[in-house]
Amino acid sequence: MSINQVIAQRYQIIAPIGEGGMALVYLARDLRTDHDVAIKFLRPEFKENPDFLSRFQREANAASKMSHHNIVNLLDVGEDTNNPFIVIEYVNGKTLKDIIRDSKTLPQDVSVQIAIRILSALQHAHQAGIIHRDIKPQNILVNQKGYIKVSDFGIARMVGSKTATMAETDKSVMGTVHYFSPEQAQGETATVSSDLYSVGIVLYEMLTGTVPFDGDTPVAIALQHIQAKPKPLRELNPDISPSVENVVMKALEKNPHHRYHTALEMAQALKIALQSPEKESTLDTPIITLQEEVKPARGAQRKHIRNRERAALLALSAVILGMLVWGSVLIIENIISSTKAPYILDLQEDAAIREAKKAGLNYCIVRQPSSEDVGTVILQSHDYDYPMKRGDTLLITVSSGDVQQEVPSLVNLNIKKAQEQAERIGLKVFEYQRISNPKESGTVLSQMPQAGKMLDFGGIIQVVISGGEISVPDYSGQVFETIKSGIIKVGLVPTVSDEVLVEDAAQNGRVATQFPKAGEKVMQGTKLDVVIYVTKPSAENTP
């Protein structure tokens, strides 16, 4: 794809923003809605590969069945010159993997809130009959407002379809080895429980900064998923509560039947864990389930069971919804709003400003004489990597050069450019006078001291500025209200200074005289005083 190329007569490519093993992703502008979108194209080398075409189509099919605030939603599907693509909402932010890498570990409350949002997305997907099969921090996006979005259903499957086995895929297993479940590691069919195991791994990594299983080869890691017991979380992070550790360890049970049955159920367990942090229940503690095994019932009994299940589901949903509202504040305060001071010493001013903006910081430039070259950053108010909040101000001290500076030539520069040039070397520009002159308004006509003289740091250069020059048009006899906007457009400031009473109604509102007179040369912004005719009231209307 090339920059500015228009796809399907609708999407204009802006820039590449990512790539994976199967697809290339570009930022684009939807020319119909004027919104930014992300377009995912199948890699050129896979366009003729039926397996990859099938996976690409499967992602589109899965996404089309879902619409949820915690899922990167599908917007369009198409094909451009035999190149299939899908259009998804653009999430401007970071991946959860980036955030973990930057922060090492996340606070417990924040980690749990993120996990609850992932579970909310999975609950929606599972209810639509879709298993994700590749839940990992790289597929969890966090936008600049703190919203959590689950992405990449590229290897998702519909419930009831068979997952590819190791034999069917040349000994490769669908999913990512650090995050997939024991059953996926053995090539068995992935289930709802498999996604919940992956959420447990992600939560483990958020809380400890490391994955529970690692090794030199994918096979070695897969074997650990099948055989090894993860190290208790509190050995790695003592700040984790027993109750939250218990939920994670239950999610990481080897036997799928010993894990949580639904995403909603696991979210409820996390909510309870936050409320009761010291509760150290055993892994075989009964869990809340919405589908208890009941004996066959008739009539009123069946209705009573259905009502009870419906009430339980509504209660759990309400609790989780309340958690989401509260948790948004935590995520924004602890992740989205947090940043770190960049290293900007020895950078030039422009580069330092770019780094500050990239970190989400405001900046304030101050100048100070030094032996460093003009424009070089010599001090920063916060040390490199110092924790800050987005929107905080980073004070940047820039060298203005030696204490005494040679006065630059400012003549013929625009006043703003002249000020910028002088400020870079620690001098100030003072507008001494503005006069009528044919040169463009704001142009420096003369300066004092003249170029080449020496001034101490903070010294003042006085300048005379052009106010532009206008030849005043003749407005006499014209209706003032009609020509008022035209007077402003010329560069004059229209003002009615007086009125003259007349009996001729046709003269009402017309310009009688003007000052300055027609043909005079004046500065832009000069006031144009006009006297207008006003119709004298008739005798019959006079009281």
Tell me, what's the pLDDT at 161?
A: 46
What is the distance between the terminal CA atoms of the chain, rounded to a whole angstrom?
Answer: 81
Tell me, what's the pLDDT at 174?
A: 46
Give the residue from 75, 325, 105 showing the smallest Cα distance to 206: 105
* Least confident segment among 42-46, 354-358, 403-407: 42-46
236: pLDDT confidence band, cut at 50, 70 and 90? very high
Asked whether 68 and 124 are in contact (CB, 8 A), the reply is yes
pLDDT mean over 277-282: 55
pLDDT at 455 over 80: yes
pLDDT at 292 over 50: no
Tell me, what's the pLDDT at 388?
A: 83
74: pLDDT confidence band, cut at 50, 70 and 90? confident
pLDDT (tens digit, 9 = 90+) per residue, 114-129? 999 999 899 988 988 8
2: pLDDT confidence band, cut at 50, 70 and 90? confident
Catalytic residue among 30, 51, 102, 134: 134
Strand 460-466 to strand 444-448: parallel, antiparallel, or no bridges (unpaired)? antiparallel
pLDDT mean over 83-109: 88
Q: Is the pTM of this model over 0.75?
A: no
Residue 231 to residues 214, 347, 364, 482: CA-CA distances in angstroms? 12, 45, 47, 83
pLDDT at 242 over 90: yes
pLDDT mean over 281-296: 37
540: pLDDT confidence band, cut at 50, 70 and 90? low
For the chain, the residue count is 543
pLDDT mean over 268-282: 74
Cβ contacts of 503 within 8 Å, gap of 6 or more:
535, 536
CA dist., res. 97 & res. 103, Å (int): 10
pLDDT at 172 over 50: no
Give me the percent of the chain exceeding a pLDDT of 90: 39
Reply yes or no on whether 134 is catalytic.
yes
* Selected residue with higher pLDDT from 247 and 373: 247
Place of tokens 């520009």: 429
Cβ contacts of 406 within 8 Å, gap of 6 or more:
451, 452, 453, 454
Domains of the chain: 1-90 (3.30.200.20), 94-292+301-336 (1.10.510.10), 339-399 (3.30.10.20), 404-466 (3.30.10.20), 470-541 (3.30.10.20)
Tell me, what's the pLDDT at 511?
A: 94
Tell me, what's the pLDDT at 494?
A: 94
pLDDT (tens digit, 9 = 90+) per residue, 306-364? 666 555 555 555 555 555 544 555 555 555 667 888 888 889 999 999 999 888 899 98
* Selected residue with higher pLDDT from 51 and 534: 534
Mean pLDDT of the chain: 82
Cβ contacts of 497 within 8 Å, gap of 6 or more:
515, 529, 530, 531
Helix (H) or strand (E) holding 142: strand 140-143
Region of 360 on the Ramachandran plot (φ > 0 left; ψ -120 to 50 alpha; else beta): left
